[in-house]
Structure 1
Amino acid sequence: MDVSPANFEGADLTSARLQQADLRRANLTGANMKSADLRMADLRGANLTGVNLTSADLRLADLRDANFEAAVLVSADMRGACIGGINLRGAVMTSVDMRGARMEHSEPTDAQIAIPPSMTRTDAPDDLTWVVGDDL
């Protein structure tokens, strides 16, 4: 049985309805997911490098250990998402709502999240380990 993760590299998933989708370890590199509905989706360990998630709905999604490097998350809704261990290096995050985002169940327990220099501490949950600017 083939248990390899899904490959959506470069796919046009604009406005896709992916609520509660199992996208663990999926390759979404360079995909266009503008306005996608990913509420409660499981994206643990997914590769979202360079993905356009402008206005995407990621409420309550499990994003642990996902790679959002160079992703565009302008006006994304990440309220209540589980964000332990995610990589946001080089991500564009303007007007992102992260209220109630959670760090629990992060592996390893001392996981850091790289936050783009443009993001302020008031934009993100209090329990983040901040790595900004030259530390990236």
Structure 2
Amino acid sequence: MNECPHCGVDDCEATFHECLVRDFTDPGFGIVHHLTVGAYMLQHNAYTDEMASHMADFVLEHLDRPPGETEKHRLRAWTDGAQRVTRRGVAPPLALTGGWPLTIADVDAQHAEAYCTTVRAWAQSVARIIANE
């Protein structure tokens, strides 16, 4: 077993990549792609502190609706811009009392409806924790 120091899930990165495959191959799953990536990256402390705050707000604003083309363009400009949005090297795990209430292990990928519901719950949980830190 390979328990992640960030989320405590065995082989979470492999699970994340399985989610991405679903996101890109089935529009029913892909509707929450922005939440899957945001929740995973936030939970794994991959964003800089400034970007983490922005991404937590973005996730909370888009729990029930995917971002529109203007919002996607703005996010892409931010992440592809000159300012660094991800941490360099290995990010330290966030210090959380009691750990994360939800992780990628709680995502139900049996069918699109369950997937979207559980990704939304996971993303909301992570983003609220980050927004309140």
TM category, shorter: under 0.3
Give TM-score scaled by structure 1 length: 0.20
Larger RCO: 1 or 2 (CA < 8 Å, sep 6+)? 2
Kindly indicate which of the two structures has a greater share of residues assigned to helix: 2
Q: Structure 2 length normalisation: TM-score?
A: 0.21
